[in-house]
Chain A
C-alpha cells in the first residue's frame, strides 16, 4: 500500500527538481524559438521531450541547442546514481617487512679532524645488551571503480581523491643513551592527507574504469632492548657506559583513516557538479575535503 505513495512522492520530488531548472530558449532549424525545459531525451531515437512543446526530433533543433541537449543528457547521466556508479575498495599495494633483527647496540662516535676528508670513528659495542628491531612498512591505497551504465559515453570528467591517514612518530629520534624514558617512548600522531587529481576524457558505454587513489605509506616499528642472558646470568658489564635500557622499549604505528572521492562534470551553468563517495561514512565528521582534520582544528582553538 505504501509503495504507490512513495512513488508519488518520488515523482513529486523529481518534478520539483526538474522545475527548478531554468527555462532554455530553444531554436528550431526553421528559426522558430520558444522557452522550454527538457523532460527527457531518448538518445536511441534521437527524440527530445520538452515540458511544454512535447516531443521534438533532435535534428530539428539548431546546432547550439543540440549541443545543449547533449550536455543536459551528460549531466543527467552523470548525476544518476543508478546509471553512474562509484565504488571504493581498499588495497594493500606493497609491504616491506624485514626480518626482526637482533643486534648489539653500539656507540659510534664520529670525529672530524682538519686535514682529513673522512671522519675518524670510535666504536664501542654494548655487548651486555641485545636490541630487537622490527619494522613493517606498508603502502596502502584505494581502487576507485567508476561504472557508466548509461547508453552513451560520459565525457570530460574530473576525478579527485584524497586519502587520509595517520602516522606516529617518535618524539626523540635516533639512539637512546641517557634519554629519559618518558621522552624516549612517547610518540606524536601526525595526520596526513594526499590528494590525487586526474581527468577522464571519456567513459564509454557500460565501461568500468578502475582508477587509484594516492598512496598512504606507513611504518610500524618496534624496538626492544634488553639485557643479554647467558645461562640465566647476566653478562659481565665491560662497557664504558652503564645505561639501563631495560624499559626503553618503544613502538609506533600508522593507519589509513579513509578516502574521500569526488567526481565532477561541468554543469549547464558552467559550474562543476560533484558527486562524492566517502569511506568510511564517519570520515565526513572527522575531516574536511581540503585535508583539515576537525579534531586538530578543535585542539588548536
Chain B
C-alpha cells in the first residue's frame, strides 16, 4: 500500500513539475513574442532622448524675434548634423521682419519639440488653440462683444457715413469718440490694425498687425481722427491709399468690382486676425434711393447695358421722343433740386450749420415730397436680350467672394469671426417690400453675420438733420423763371 502511495505521490509531483515546466515554457514563449513585437515596433537603434527639453508655455504672442532665428538658421548646432553640407539656403523660410503672420506653413505638433523651429510653430499653434490670455482683449465694438488676441477694425470712411439721414458729421464724430474708447481699452499685447475704406480706396494704418502699445494706439487714433473732420475733404485722399491686393483671388467678382467693405475685409483677411469688426453704412457699391436696395455693380456689364439701353430708345422715333420728353423733365427737376439745395445750404450757413450731405441731388426732392418721374421702361421682350440682372452680382456671388477671400488666407485655421455694425440714422429709412426679398443692406448684413456666426448690430447715429427750409416745387419753379427773365 505504501509503495502504491509513494508511486502516486511521485506521479502527482512529477505531473506538477511537468505542469510548472510547461507553464514556464509558455510564459517564456509569450513573453518572448511580446518582447519581439515591442522590439519590432520601437525600431532598432532609435535614440530615445533622455531629457526632452521642458516646454515653456508661451504666454505672449508677439512678433518673432527674427534675428536670433536667422542666426540659428545660418549656424546650425554642430553636435547633431552640422557636418552635413547639403544645406540649400534657398529652401529655408526666413521670415521677414514683422511678417510673422505670413509664416506659413503653420504645422502643429504631435511629437517632440526639439528643433529651433518651435518658436514660430508654437506661435501659430497658440493662435488657433490659445490657452493663455495675456494678449486677449475683450472688445465692445458698438454693441458687439468679442475677445481675441488679433483684432482688425474695418471702418467706412466714405461720404455715406456723413449723410444727413445718418446724422451727418455729428454721427461720424460720435463714431470716432467711441473708437477712441475701443482702441484705448486694448491690452498692450493685443495685436491690432485699422482699415479704412471709401468706395474703391482702402487705407491701412499699418502694413501688418501691431501690438497695441500706448504709442501705437495714439498713432492709430490720430490717423483715424484726421478723417472726415470737415466737408471740404471727405473720405480717403489719394495719398492715403496704401492697399492693393497682392493676389488675384479665384472669385466670382471682377477685381475692380471688389470695393467698399468687401475690399476693406479683404485687406483685413490678409492680416489674419481672429476677429474682424466692420462698421459701415451700405452693403453694395450702389444703393437705390427709391427702395433702399443695395448691390454690387458689375461695372463692365453695367456700362455695356447702359449703352444698349440708350441705343434702344434712340433706334425708334417714338421711343426717342418719349426719352427726350423725359430728359427735359429730368433736367427741370435737377435744376429744381439744385436750387433747393442751394437755398437749404444758405439757410444752414446763416444758422452756422454744416452744409447738407446727400447721396444724390434728388434726395432733397424726396425730402420735400417731390417725386422724380420714373425713367421710361423698355418693352418686355427687350429684357430677354438686355437683362439688367446681369449688371449686378447676386447675393450668392458675394457670399462666395467673401468665403473664398477668407479661406484662401485662413485655410486650416477656419473662417474668422466677422461682425458687422451698420450705422443707421434715426430716420426709419425708405425700406419697401424689397426688404422681404433680401435686397437691402440690413437684410444682407444680417444674413451674412448669422452664417458666419458673427454678430450684427445697428449703431444708432445722431438724429437725422432736419432741413431748415420746407420748400415747395411751384415756388422754386417761379424763382427759377424769375431768374431766367432777369438774366434775359
Q: How far is the CA of A143 from the CA of B91 in the complex (A)?
A: 21
The answer to whether B403 and A208 have CB atoms under 8 Å apart is: no
Closest residue of chain B to A148, judged by CB? B111
| Interface members, chain B 170-185 (any A CB < 8 Å) | none
Q: How far is the CA of A242 from the CA of B411 in the complex (A)?
A: 46
Q: How far is the CA of A97 from the CA of B451 in the complex (A)?
A: 7
Q: How far is the CA of A148 from the CA of B479 in the complex (A)?
A: 88
Contact with A along B244-282 (1 / 0, CB 8 A): 000000100000000000000000000000000000000
Stretch at the interface among B8-16, B101-109, B144-152, B228-236: B101-109
Contact of A96 among B45, B46, B110, B451 (CB under 8 A): B451
| Contacts A108-B293, A202-B117, A206-B111 given; does A151 touch B388 at CB 8 Å | no
Q: Which of B88, B330, B362, B432 has the most CB of A within 10 A?
A: B88
Q: How far is the CA of A104 from the CA of B372 in the complex (A)?
A: 26
CB of B437, distance to nearest CB on chain A (Å): 5
Stretch at the interface among B17-25, B60-68, B76-84, B201-209: B76-84
Q: Is A39 an interface residue (CB 8 A)?
A: no
Q: Is B222 an interface residue (CB 8 A)?
A: no
Q: How far is the CA of A156 from the CA of B47 in the complex (A)?
A: 21
On chain A, the residues within 8 Å of B93 by CB distance are 198-199, 201
| Interface members, chain B 70-102 (any A CB < 8 Å) | 73, 80-81, 83-88, 91-93
Q: Which of A116, A133, A177, A203 has the most CB of B within 10 A?
A: A177
The answer to whether A120 and B390 have CB atoms under 8 Å apart is: no
The answer to whether B108 and A210 have CB atoms under 8 Å apart is: yes
Q: Is A47 an interface residue (CB 8 A)?
A: no
Q: Is A219 an interface residue (CB 8 A)?
A: yes
The answer to whether A70 and B451 have CB atoms under 8 Å apart is: no
| Interface members, chain B 132-173 (any A CB < 8 Å) | none
Q: Is A33 an interface residue (CB 8 A)?
A: no
The answer to whether A211 and B407 have CB atoms under 8 Å apart is: no
Q: How far is the CA of A257 from the CA of B114 in the complex (A)?
A: 36
| Interface members, chain B 350-390 (any A CB < 8 Å) | 359-362, 372, 374-375, 377-378, 380-381, 383-384, 387-390
On chain A, the residues within 8 Å of B46 by CB distance are 149, 151, 206
Contact of B334 among A66, A115, A159, A198 (CB under 8 A): A115
Stretch at the interface among B210-218, B392-400, B420-428: B392-400
The answer to whether B47 and A205 have CB atoms under 8 Å apart is: yes
Closest residue of chain A to B326, judged by CB? A113
| Contacts A117-B360, A202-B115, A205-B49 given; does A96 touch B92 at CB 8 Å | no
Contact with A along B302-341 (1 / 0, CB 8 A): 1001100100000000000000000100110010000000
CB of B395, distance to nearest CB on chain A (Å): 8
Count of interface residues, chain B, beta-carbon cutoff 8 Å: 91
Q: Is A282 an interface residue (CB 8 A)?
A: no
On chain A, the residues within 8 Å of B359 by CB distance are 118
CB of A114, distance to nearest CB on chain B (Å): 8
On chain B, the residues within 8 Å of A174 by CB distance are 387, 389-390, 394
Q: Is A195 an interface residue (CB 8 A)?
A: no
The answer to whether B86 and A137 have CB atoms under 8 Å apart is: no
Contact of B114 among A70, A118, A179, A205 (CB under 8 A): A205
Closest residue of chain A to B106, judged by CB? A212
The answer to whether B81 and A175 have CB atoms under 8 Å apart is: no
Count of interface residues, chain A, beta-carbon cutoff 8 Å: 83
| Interface members, chain B 280-305 (any A CB < 8 Å) | 286-291, 293, 302, 305
| Contacts A123-B293, A139-B403, A202-B115 given; does A151 touch B47 at CB 8 Å | yes
The answer to whether A266 and B83 have CB atoms under 8 Å apart is: no
Q: How far is the CA of A205 from the CA of B112 in the complex (A)?
A: 8
Closest residue of chain B to A145, judged by CB? B110
On chain B, the residues within 8 Å of A112 by CB distance are 302, 306
Contact with B along A105-140 (1 / 0, CB 8 A): 011111111011111111101000000010101010
The answer to whether B112 and A206 have CB atoms under 8 Å apart is: yes
The answer to whether A179 and B384 have CB atoms under 8 Å apart is: yes
Q: Which of B80, B84, B306 has the most CB of A within 10 A?
A: B84
Q: Is A251 an interface residue (CB 8 A)?
A: no
Closest residue of chain B to A65, judged by CB? B83
Q: Is A56 an interface residue (CB 8 A)?
A: no
| Contacts A135-B399, A178-B383 given; does A120 touch B375 at CB 8 Å | yes
CB of A63, distance to nearest CB on chain B (Å): 7
On chain A, the residues within 8 Å of B432 by CB distance are 123
The answer to whether A74 and B306 have CB atoms under 8 Å apart is: no
CB of B39, distance to nearest CB on chain A (Å): 15
Closest residue of chain B to A221, judged by CB? B396
The answer to whether B380 and A135 have CB atoms under 8 Å apart is: no
Q: Is A153 an interface residue (CB 8 A)?
A: yes
| Contacts A123-B291, A219-B400, A240-B380 given; does A113 touch B434 at CB 8 Å | no
On chain A, the residues within 8 Å of B80 by CB distance are 152-153
Closest residue of chain B to A111, judged by CB? B375
The answer to whether A121 and B291 have CB atoms under 8 Å apart is: yes
Q: Is B408 an interface residue (CB 8 A)?
A: yes
Q: Is A248 an interface residue (CB 8 A)?
A: no
The answer to whether B83 and A66 have CB atoms under 8 Å apart is: yes
Contact of B378 among A109, A123, A125, A266 (CB under 8 A): A109
Q: Is B438 an interface residue (CB 8 A)?
A: yes
Closest residue of chain A to B307, judged by CB? A112
Q: How far is the CA of A71 from the CA of B411 in the complex (A)?
A: 35
| Contacts A98-B447, A149-B43 given; does A107 touch B388 at CB 8 Å | yes
The answer to whether B290 and A156 have CB atoms under 8 Å apart is: no
| Interface members, chain A 68-122 (any B CB < 8 Å) | 70-71, 74, 83, 91, 93-94, 96-99, 101, 103-104, 106-113, 115-122
Q: Is B439 an interface residue (CB 8 A)?
A: yes
Q: How far is the CA of A139 from the CA of B43 in the complex (A)?
A: 38
28 interchain pairs (CB within 8 A)? A67-B83, A74-B86, A99-B450, A107-B383, A107-B388, A108-B389, A109-B388, A112-B306, A113-B330, A115-B334, A120-B372, A122-B377, A139-B403, A143-B412, A156-B87, A178-B381, A192-B250, A199-B92, A201-B91, A201-B117, A205-B114, A209-B107, A209-B111, A210-B110, A211-B107, A217-B408, A241-B380, A266-B86
Closest 3 CB pairs of A and B: A175-B389, A178-B384, A204-B114
11 extra interface residue pairs, beta carbon distance < 8 Å, beyond A108-B439, A175-B390: A94-B414, A109-B378, A116-B361, A118-B359, A121-B288, A177-B383, A204-B111, A211-B105, A212-B106, A215-B407, A240-B380
